[in-house]
Amino acid sequence: MKINNFLELKDFQRIIIENEKIELDDTLLARVDASFQFLKEFSKNKVIYGVNTGFGPMAQFKISDEDTHQLQYNLIRSHSSGIGNPLPAAEVKACMLARLNTLSLGNSGVHQSVVNLLKELINRDIIPLIFEHGGVGASGDLVQLAHLALVLIGEGEVFYKGERKSTKQVFEIENLQPIQVEIREGLALMNGTSVMSGIGAVNAYKANQLTNISIKLSCAINEIVQAYDDHLSEALNGTKLHEGQQKIAAKMRDHLSDSQLIRKRADHLYTHFEEQEKVFKEKVQEYYSLRCVPQILGPVLDTLEYTEKVLENEINSANDNPIINVEDQHVYHGGNFHGDYISLEMDKLKIVVTKLTMLAERQLNYLLNAKINEILPPFVNLGKLGFNFGMQGVQFTATSTTAESQMLSNPMYVHSIPNNNDNQDIVSMGTNAAVICRKVIENAFEVLTIEAITIVQAIEYLGFQDKVSSATKELYDEIRKIIPAFSDDMVMYPYLEEVKKYLKAM
């Protein structure tokens, strides 16, 4: 893929998820060079933050010409101070792509070597060691991006072919040259929202997967109980003017289009009223976790689509400081590195993913509680009641995991703590928000895994394999390849892991 101007999020995710190689368009390189040449000339005999001044609260200190390059190296090394778990490879790769994209806009004054080396690291799957814990997301992801900059100057560590190695060693193997600081490469690399945005892009991709899986499982449960179709109808959902709700209902109708189990209310409850018993044998309406899926997943979809728009805007924005404007022949000082846009979206996304998880947990409970569903044995136990346990054990896992997500859904966005000698007196905590959102997403995959296995067991018990929709049958067949129908108790965790892998690959 050739990169030049606007990078759409779907293209961004193709590069990260599908490992598509990238090229840099000649006009992009010319734009980067024009910005670099302008800043090199403009910064002579002028006070430019981060070029010939100290940083943050020490910006009042003038830096002599002979020390300006060393200043950048000092900044990178001193801020390579992260700790905790390393970020997953996909997220680091996304971070590098986001940084490359914003630096290529020509508003940063960096040398071409920066974007060229970033391109090579992405294409060769050389993954810088970046830790979860670090920046507060106000002068951007300072600490995490310092670890990226550290690799670009040939220091620090990377993950290479599954091993953690020194950058110097890997660069020698791959015949790569580190960048040389020319003007402000250290600050330009470190000031920005690229880590939170990169993690956010991966989160959005996975949240899309979860939404689609939740729709499939919700459809399957409606089939299991032979629900009426009017709660999914275009007529009903069209009376509420939320696009997400209408889209979810349409997806469910499409999924269930060839099901033999979904019923028409008019065929059962709108005829022969006088012949009905005083207590209806047929359930008039389903529980909310079955009937209100469009209304519950609709806000999830609406939020996700807006989050994707914000992410796309951010990765195509100049988000460092100062901003170099070649057209105006001026350098503007401001705060484009502040991460509030991403922080808020990550909080919103984790909230709706938690709600999706809660929906799955309630649907699971419906299937497991024979007193509620009245069609399945307790815990969808296909063995001997009282002797075997069915899906009883895994419900504890689903319940505790859902509870953790509920706790994690408290917002980071409002947890600003002043620091940096109060220079950064209000911060975004954007990367923290993105990392916690990722955890909530992983939890959701685990709960949906348990729900999916339970649904397949329920279909088995009822003998509905040939009556469910073709889409549900495909899901049934794929999960059955992983876990056979079981009546005897067995160790579940290996199957949970494999079904989770299958869902994450959908």
Higher pLDDT, 42 or 35: 35
Measured from the Cβ of residue 89, the count of other Cβ atoms closer than 10 Å reads 14
pLDDT band for position 279 (50/70/90)? low
| Distance separating alpha carbons of residues 130 and 90, to the nearest angstrom | 12
- Give CA–CA dist 107/31, Å, rounded: 9
Within 175-193, residue ranges assigned H as helices are 185-190
pLDDT band of 414, cuts 50, 70, 90: confident
Q: Which residues, other chains included, contact 193 with Cβ-Cβ below 8 Å and sequence gap of 6+?
A: 98, 137, 140, 141, 314, 319, 337, 338, 339, 341, 342, 430
pLDDT band at 345 (very low <50, low <70, confident <90, very high): very high
Q: Which domains does the chain have, with CATH numbers?
A: 2-191 (1.10.275.10), 202-505 (1.20.200.10)
1 versus 175: the higher-pLDDT residue is: 175
pLDDT-based confidence at residue 274 (cuts at 50, 70, 90):
low
Asked, as a colleague might, if the bond just before 299 is cis with ω within 30 of 0, I would say no
Average pLDDT over residues 152-160: 96
Distance CA 190, CA 321 (A): 10
Cα separation, 229 vs 212, whole angstroms = 19
Indicate the pLDDT class of residue 420, thresholds 50, 70 and 90: low
Who wins on pLDDT, 183 or 354?
Answer: 354
Place of tokens 């979206």: 345
Question: Which pLDDT belongs to residue 165?
Answer: 97
Mean pLDDT of 138-149: 90
What's the whole-number mean pLDDT along residues 171-188? 93
Count of residues for the chain? 506
**pLDDT confidence of residue 472:** 97
* Across 60-69, 104-113, 169-178, least confident range: 60-69
Q: List the structure tokens of 43.
A: 């910064």
Give the global pTM.
Answer: 0.93
Tokens (6 digits) for 360: 């799955």
What gap in Å lies between CA 207 and CA 304, rounded to an integer?
A: 7
Structure tokens at 273: 């009223």
Burial of 480 (0-12, 13-18, 19+ CB in 10 A): middle
Mean pLDDT on 320-340: 89
Arithmetic mean of pLDDT, 321-328: 90
Task: State the CB neighbour count (10 A cutoff) for residue 475.
Answer: 24
Whose tokens are 């067949």? That residue is 477
Encoded tokens for 367: 């299937």
Higher pLDDT, 425 or 357: 357
pLDDT level of residue 13 (50, 70, 90 thresholds): confident
Give the residue numbers marked as catalytic.
49
Q: Write down the residue that tokens 């940084």 correspond to.
A: 99
Please enumerate in sequence order all residues whose Cβ is within 8 A of that of 352, keeping only pairs 6 or more positions apart, or say none.
207, 299, 300, 303, 304
Question: What's the average model confidence in pLDDT over 104-129?
Answer: 95
- Mean pLDDT (whole number) for 263-274: 65
Looking at residue 270, what is its pLDDT? Answer: 58
pLDDT in tens, 234-259: 999 999 999 999 999 999 999 999 99
The Cα 178–Cα 307 span in angstroms is 35
pLDDT tens per residue across span 42-70: 888 877 777 778 666 676 777 777 778 88
- Residue 270 is given by DSSP the state S
Statement: residue 492 has pLDDT above 80: yes
